[in-house]
């Protein structure tokens, strides 16, 4: 059954300049889906719509069978509990004035989730591969990769069903990137993952399905392996051909 | 490069902090002391008129023969009350307006920003004079309220700019997707992150308020007698500045030392209050 | 023959903290060298040291010779002569490298005029105009007349990077230093810019110092690489050898990571 169903969604600031143009998409529960596109493809807008930060101009998004209703604060509270996000820049996504406990426990506090907060935070830190004794430390004491792990801990601490990642490894060094991809892959075993990226290599390594966006439209979607082996759309072929490869 | 940035202000920070603490502490100590003890009754005619400084009268006497040092000490108390209350009023109104503008829709934000720009184009003192003139009686309370309102426009504009910059950060988006309400975002993320810059600005505003109150008093629009505001002392010393210069010098020194002290203190506090400036990376 | 750029025992420190340690390499005329490293490896600082653009707080020791001229300790006047004529820079973010208030034509005209003055004649009016358009054509910009009239914010990121490359070429440098020139670009644009750079460098016989964290990108454009880790060159050699049989642990880790993503694309991982 579909966890998320994007139904004919459009978004634009004016009628003749649409950022997203009639996008439809089904995300199965437990899937890991890569949304791939270049700048101007609308992938970030689609992610913001899925996060409920923006309302579509037309069409609707359904989650777990119900319409994503950004106007109802009660519905959104419940939605946020099930849908969490990781962002691109681990330097900008952590409040420099909060310590690790404050940062990671934010969803617990804001969504009023009961339980022993420090213990829940420590558990989340351990599951992203960090030491549990860093609760009192501040973001500037950590490297980029560690910061991204803290951001991922914040996203999973409330045990969401759906994790949305926006270029979550693009700002990281290569050696760090591969470790964060492995971490996300491991986490994706227990939840649904939507991974927005311009990097086909990362998506290929992480996602079993992918969706290619170009100028606000989906040009091709399907199983990653099949699309890599036999791309149908010319744009998919162009993207694949543009990725620089290591010499044989 | 971070090492250069981290070490230099820390060494400077500790010195400014201590100097600021010393100056402000002195004024606060004197202000508290005046509540329980004064060298002389401020209204009593205790000596000859316009006597120069002596062991009995550290700053001499005024033209009615009242002890001048006693009045300067009371002036400390008045200056602190004026500065703190004006900044509190200006800060409360200004930060609220600034944060509202930063969160508001484009149209409302533009309207607020334009209004603030127009208000700031008028000198603080002029706005304060208008507010005092609009009220019936001149009192310390009116003067403080007037200064607070005049300062709020400056605080609001700064808050708006700082808050807008913070709102662009990914941690705000992360807070929204974590379910944090907008009030929560204001108190947990926006205010803590703009506070260091804002607090230094408050110190500047404090200095402005103290000077503006002195100016109002000097013009006869401030605290009426017997409140010994430094501005009123300066005004009274005007006629005798050549025969008894201490009457102008003493309140002048008191005023300047307090304003400088507060600024140094704020600078020092900002440096130690910032987790990214504490310790080395 | 003396190499175009020779770096010998370069040490960069800030407050006694080492940023680059005992670095030596050289680039001969027409040679293409890649400087690979992750953030904090000192690769960009090395490029800045090569042209005397280091911030004041950084202390440099050792020898850097660019076009036969010692760079470290050289007066600004001498360095200014080297920049542009011997070596020119292309940066990562073309939007900040261009002046937002000047039309593209004006920005490109400036180095052209400087080169003409260096060669002993003045370039102005329609002659200058023609040179600007010719240069924009050489970097394969479509509709050069329209682009010349545009402001930087009116053209795409890839087009801006082409303009930046045109400006670097205007002075006909012997060495082009490109610091992560494609990192901010889309993958399809990146492929185009790499092709353009490759063609230009070959055509003009320029030397290239290509700085990047991206192994496959470096592999496409250079012959030899220097791998840097925390300010130290850990491995040097021809691209195929270094990437094919890495000797140092750090290089090996980088190559394994890069090949993992490649493998995923091939469907083998």
Residue C12 contacts residue C42 (beta carbons within 8 Å): yes
* CB nearest to A53's CB, from B176, B188, B281: B176
Mean pLDDT over the full length of chain C: 88
Q: Is the pLDDT confidence value at A59 over 90?
A: yes
Read off the pLDDT of residues C209-236 as tens digits, 9 standing for 90 and up: 999 999 999 998 999 999 999 999 999 9
Average pLDDT over every residue of A202-218: 94
B chain contacts of residue C55, beta-carbon cutoff 8 Å: 1
Q: Which residues of B touch A87 (CB under 8 A)?
A: 170, 173-174
Q: Residue B175 pLDDT more than 60?
A: yes
Q: Does B115 touch chain A (CB under 8 A)?
A: no
Does B175 contact A at CB distance below 8 Å? yes
Interface residue A77 vs chain B (CB under 8 A): yes
Chains touching A, CB cut-off 8 Å, 3+ pairs:
B, C
Burial of C75 (0-12, 13-18, 19+ CB in 10 A): exposed
Angle at CA A244, nearest 5°, toward C204 and C260?
Answer: 145
| Strand partners for A26 | A5
Confidence (pLDDT) at B4: 38
Instruction: Tell me whether residue A34 is in a domain.
Output: yes
Other CB atoms within a 10 A radius of the CB of residue B226 amount to: 11
Q: Residue A136 is part of which domain span? A: 2-242
Q: Return the HEC string of A78-99.
A: HHHHHEEEECCCCCCCCCCCCC
Q: Decide if A55 is inside a domain.
A: yes
pLDDT score, position B280: 37
Query: Is residue B51 one of the residues assigned to a domain?
Result: no
Tell me, yes or no, if A147 comes closer than 8 A to chain C by beta carbon.
no
CB pairs under 8 A between A and C: 87
**What number of CA atoms fall less than 13 Å from residue C148's CA on the CB side?**
19
Q: Note whether A62 and A7 are within 8 A (CB).
A: yes
The residues in C 118-177 lying below 8 A from A, measured between CB atoms, are 157
Residues of C whose CB is below 8 A from A197: none
The shortest CB-CB distance from A92 to any of B169, B184, B281 is to: B169
pLDDT of residue B104: 87
Question: What contacts B258, CB < 8 A, 6 or more positions away?
Answer: B23, B24, B27, B76, B79, B80, B83, B207, B210
pLDDT at position B138: 67
Domain range enclosing B142: 15-34+60-273
pLDDT-derived band at B5 (thresholds 50, 70, 90) equals very low
Residue among C67, C99, C116 at smallest CA distance from C164: C99
User: Are A51 and B275 in contact (CB < 8 Å)?
Assistant: no
Summarize pLDDT for A26-38 with one digit per residue, the tens. Answer: 999 999 999 999 8
Q: Is residue B220 in some structural domain?
A: yes
Residues B126 and B175: their CA atoms lie apart, in Å, by: 42
Residue in chain B nearest A106 by alpha carbon: B178
* Residue A70: CA count within 13 A, CB half-sphere: 14
**Chain A residue with the nearest C-alpha to that of B195:** A97
A209 found inside a domain: yes
- Chain B residue closest in CA terms to A160: B178
Provide the pLDDT for residue B258.
Answer: 93
| Domain presence at residue B266 | yes
According to the model, what pLDDT value does residue C91 have?
84
B176 in reach of chain A (CB within 8 A):
yes
Domain of residue B202, CATH code: 1.10.3720.10
Please answer yes or no on whether C55 and B7 come within 8 Å at the CB atom: no
Share of chain A above pLDDT 70, in %: 100
How sure is the predictor about C69, in pLDDT bands with cuts at 50, 70 and 90?
confident
Beta bridge partners of C60: C12
Least Cα separation, residue C84 to chain B (angstroms): 27
Give C57's contacts in chain B (Cβ within 8 Å).
1, 4
Chains that touch C (3 or more CB pairs under 8 A): A, B
Amino acid B133: pLDDT: 80
Which of B40, B18, B49 minimizes the C-alpha distance to B244? B49
Q: Could you say which of B179, B193, B276 has the minimum Cβ distance to residue A107?
A: B179
Distance from CA of B3 to the nearest CA of C (A): 7
- Contact flag C14-B7 (C-beta cutoff 8 Å): no
CATH at A105: 3.40.50.300
Best of C256, C265, C267, C268 to disrupt the A interface (most A CBs within 10 Å) is: C265
- C249 touches A: beta carbon within 8 Å: no
A20 in any annotated domain: yes
Q: Where are the domains of chain C?
A: 5-266
Q: Which residues contact B169 (CB under 8 A, 6 or more apart)?
A: A92, A93, A95
Q: Which residues of C touch A205 (CB under 8 A)?
A: 260-261, 264, 269
Query: How far B189 CA lies from chain A's nearest CA (Å)?
Result: 7
Q: Which of A85, A110, A150, A165 to mutate to test the interface with B (most CBs of B within 10 A)?
A: A110
- Mean confidence (pLDDT) of chain A: 93
Q: In the prediction, which pLDDT does C184 show?
A: 81
pLDDT of B10 > 60? The answer is: no
- How many folded domains does chain A comprise? 1
* B164-173 pLDDT, tens digit each: 999 999 999 9
Q: Which of A13-17, B91-95, C75-79 has the highest mean pLDDT?
A: B91-95
Q: What pLDDT score does B12 carry?
A: 53
Stronger pLDDT, A216 or B222, i.e. the higher one:
A216
Chain B residues within an 8 Å CB radius of A92: 169-171
What pLDDT score does A97 carry? 93
ipTM: 0.90
pTM of the model: 0.84
Q: Is residue A103 a part of any domain in this protein?
A: yes
pLDDT at site B273: 65
Residue B173 forms contact with A (CB below 8 Å): yes
CA distances from A228 to A42, A188, A215, A239 (A): 22, 21, 21, 11
- CA dist., res. B234 & res. B253, Å (int): 11
CATH superfamily for domain C5-266:
P-loop containing nucleotide triphosphate hydrolases (3.40.50.300)
Tell me which residues of chain A, numbers 42 to 71, contact chain B at a CB-CB cutoff of 8 Å: 51-53
B274: nearest CA partner in chain A: A97
Our count of domains for chain B comes to 1
């Amino acid at each position: 059954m579909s966890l998320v169903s994007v139904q004919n969604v459009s978004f634009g600031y004016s009628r003749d300049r649409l950022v997203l143009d009639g996008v439809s998409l089904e995300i199965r529960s437990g899937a890991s889906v890569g949304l791939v596109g270049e700048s101007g493809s609308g992938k970030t807008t689609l992610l913001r719509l899925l996060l409920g930060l923006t309302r579509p101009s037309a069409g609707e998004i359904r989650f777990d069978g119900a319409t994503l209703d950004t106007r109802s604060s009660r519905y959104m509270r419940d939605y946020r509990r099930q849908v969490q996000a990781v962002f691109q820049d681990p330097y900008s996504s952590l409040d420099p004035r909060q310590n690790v406990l404050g940062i990671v426990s934010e969803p617990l506090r804001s969504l009023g989730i009961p339980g022993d907060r420090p213990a829940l935070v420590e558990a989340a830190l351990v599951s992203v591969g960090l030491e549990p004794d860093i609760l009192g430390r501040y973001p500037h004491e950590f490297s980029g990769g560690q910061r991204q792990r803290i951001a991922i801990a914040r996203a999973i601490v409330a045990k969401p069903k759906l994790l949305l990642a926006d270029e979550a490894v693009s700002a990281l060094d290569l050696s760090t990137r591969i470790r964060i991809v492995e971490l996300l892959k491991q986490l994706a075993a227990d939840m649904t993952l939507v991974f927005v990226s311009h990097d086909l290599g990362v998506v290929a390594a992480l996602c079993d399905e992918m969706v290619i966006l170009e100028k606000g439209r989906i040009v091709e979607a399907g199983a990653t392996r099949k699309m890599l082996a036999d791309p149908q759309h010319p744009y998919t072929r162009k993207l694949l051909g543009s990725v620089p490869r290591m010499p044989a | 490069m971070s090492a250069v940035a981290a070490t230099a202000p820390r060494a400077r920070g500790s010195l400014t902090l201590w100097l600021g603490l010393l100056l402000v502490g002195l004024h606060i100590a004197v202000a508290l002391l005046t509540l329980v003890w004064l060298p002389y009754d401020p209204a009593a005619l205790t000596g000859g008129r316009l006597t120069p400084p002596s062991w009995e009268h550290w700053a001499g006497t005024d033209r009615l023969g009242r002890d001048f040092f006693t009045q300067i000490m009371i002036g400390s108390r008045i200056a602190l009350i004026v500065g703190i209350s004006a900044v509190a009023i200006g800060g409360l109104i200004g930060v609220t307006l600034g944060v509202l503008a930063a969160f508001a829709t484009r149209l409302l934000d533009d309207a607020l920003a334009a209004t603030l720009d127009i208000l700031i184009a008028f000198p603080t003192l002029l706005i304060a004079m208008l507010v005092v003139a609009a009220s019936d009686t001149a009192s310390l309370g009116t003067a403080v309220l007037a200064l607070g309102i005049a300062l709020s426009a400056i605080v609001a504009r700064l808050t708006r700019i700082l808050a807008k910059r913070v709102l662009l950060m990914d941690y705000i988006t992360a807070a929204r997707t974590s379910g944090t309400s907008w009030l929560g975002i204001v108190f947990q993320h926006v205010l803590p992150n703009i506070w260091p810059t804002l607090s230094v600005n408050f110190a500047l505003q404090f200095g402005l308020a103290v000077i503006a109150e002195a100016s109002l008093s000097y013009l006869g629009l401030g605290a009426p007698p017997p409140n010994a505001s430094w501005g009123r002392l300066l005004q009274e010393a005007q006629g005798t500045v050549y025969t008894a210069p201490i009457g102008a010098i003493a309140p002048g020194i008191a005023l300047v030392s307090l304003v400088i002290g507060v600024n140094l203190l704020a600078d020092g506090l900002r440096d130690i209050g910032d987790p990214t400036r504490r310790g080395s990376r | 023959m003396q190499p175009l750029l020779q770096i010998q025992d370069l040490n960069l420190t800030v407050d006694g903290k080492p940023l680059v340690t005992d670095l030596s390499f050289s680039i001969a005329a027409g040679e293409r060298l890649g400087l690979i490293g992750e953030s904090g490896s000192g690769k960009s600082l090395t490029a800045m040291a090569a042209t005397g653009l280091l911030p004041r707080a950084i202390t440099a020791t050792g020898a850097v010779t660019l076009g036969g001229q010692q760079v470290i300790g050289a007066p600004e006047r001498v360095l200014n002569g080297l920049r542009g004529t011997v070596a020119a820079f292309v940066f990562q973010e073309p939007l900040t490298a261009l002046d937002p208030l000047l039309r593209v034509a004006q920005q490109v005209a400036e180095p052209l005029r400087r080169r003409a003055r260096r060669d002993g004649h003045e370039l102005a009016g329609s002659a200058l105009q023609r040179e600007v358009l010719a240069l924009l054509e050489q970097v394969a910009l479509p509709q050069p007349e329209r682009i010349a009239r545009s402001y930087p914010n009116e053209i795409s990121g890839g087009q801006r990077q082409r303009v930046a490359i045109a400006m670097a070429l205007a002075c006909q440098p012997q060495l082009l230093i490109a610091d992560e020139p494609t990192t901010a670009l889309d993958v399809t644009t990146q492929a185009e810019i790499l092709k353009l750079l490759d063609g230009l460098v070959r055509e003009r016989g320029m030397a290239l110092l290509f700085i990047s964290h991206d192994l496959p990108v470096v592999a496409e454009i250079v012959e030899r690489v220097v791998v840097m880790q925390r300010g130290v060159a850990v491995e040097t050699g021809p691209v195929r050898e270094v990437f094919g049989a890495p000797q140092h642990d750090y290089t090996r880790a980088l190559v394994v990571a890069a090949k993992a993503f490649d493998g995923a694309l091939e469907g083998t991982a």
